[in-house]
Amino acid sequence: MSLFTNLLNLHSGTKPREDFFTEIVAYFLSLNNHILIDWLKHHSIISDENYSSIKISTQQEHKRLETHTEDSKLDIVVELSNGLNTDVIFIESTIGSTEGWRQLEKYAEILSNLPNVRHRILIYITRDYDPKEEIKTPAFNLEPKINFYQLRWYQFYARLQQHATDILAQEILILFFQESIKELKTVQEQYFDFPWKGVSIETVTETDKEQDLDTSPSSIAEV
C-alpha cells in the first residue's frame, strides 16, 4: 500500500481524496520541474522550456468577478517566467466528480482578466471520461484568449512511469493505481506497465480512444 494511501486513511470521516491527490501531485511537480515541463511539452501545451522561474500554487483563491456569484478556488496554478514574459496555467482536477456549474467558464474569465500575462492556459484533467467538446480554443471567445486543453489522469500516470526510479514518483504511481486507476473503466492497456501481479484492466472504446489521444488546444515551491 502506498505511503500516501496510509496517510489518507488516517483521516477520519469523509476522506478528501481529490484535494489530497492534488496536493501530492503539485508538491511532486514543484520538486521536479523538469517532469512538469516534459508533461506540458508532451501534450503541446507549451513550446518554450527556458523558464527561469516556476511557481506552483494550490487552492489559490480569487475574488469573484462582476458576472460571478461567488469567489473561486483553483486546484493548481502554474506560473512560468523567463524573466521577460510570464505564462499562467490554471489546472482543474477531478477524481470521480464532475465540473461544477460554469466552473471552467468562470476560471477562464478569471484567467483572461489577469494582468501582464503572455500565454493563458486552462487545463481540465479528469480521471473519468468527461468530454468538453463544446469548449473550443480560444475558450469561450474571451480576449485576451484562453487556450483550453482536456487531459486524463491516466495519461499523466503513463508519462510518470518514465521517471519511476524516483522514490516519490514510485509512491505516487502506487497511489494512482490504488485511488484512481483501479476504478477507471476506460484505460488503454498499452499505456501502462504495471509492476503488480494479477492486475486486470479494461480497454477503451474507439470513441474514448479518439477523444483521449486528441488533446485539444491554466505557492508550493519557486525556483
Assigned C-alpha cell, 25: 501531485
Residue 118 reports pLDDT greater than 90? yes
CA-nearest of 109, 121, 74 to 93 is 74
Residue 35 reports pLDDT greater than 60? yes
Per the CB < 8 A criterion, the answer to whether 96 and 126 are in contact is no
Higher pLDDT, 172 or 69: 69
What does the alpha-carbon distance between residue 132 and residue 216 come to, in Å, rounded to a whole number?
A: 10
Q: What is the pLDDT averaged over residues 57-78?
A: 91
Q: According to the model, what pLDDT value does residue 147 have?
A: 96
Residue 91 reports pLDDT greater than 90? yes
Greatest distance between any 2 Cα atoms in the chain: 54
Q: According to the model, what pLDDT value does residue 159 have?
A: 87
Higher pLDDT, 51 or 127: 51
Residue 180 reports pLDDT greater than 60? no
Residue 2 reports pLDDT greater than 80? no
Span of 87-101, 111-125, 182-196 with lowest mean pLDDT: 182-196
Q: Which amino acid is at 11?
A: H
Q: Strands of 120-126's sheet, edge to edge? A: 147-152, 120-126, 86-94, 72-81, 53-62, 221-222
Q: According to the model, what pLDDT value does residue 12 have?
A: 56
Question: At 70, is the pLDDT very low, low, confident or very high (cuts 50, 70, 90)?
Answer: confident
Higher pLDDT, 146 or 170: 146
Assigned C-alpha cell, 153: 489522469
Q: According to the model, what pLDDT value does residue 93 have?
A: 93
Q: What percent of the chain shows pLDDT beyond 70?
A: 70
Q: According to the model, what pLDDT value does residue 16 have?
A: 59
Q: What is the pLDDT averaged over residues 25-51?
A: 92
What does the alpha-carbon distance between residue 20 and residue 168 come to, in Å, rounded to a whole number?
A: 15
Q: What is the pLDDT averaged over residues 65-85?
A: 92
Q: State the average pLDDT for the chain.
A: 77
CA distances to 52, 76, 112 from 93, rounded to whole Å, are 26, 8, 19
Q: pTM here?
A: 0.75
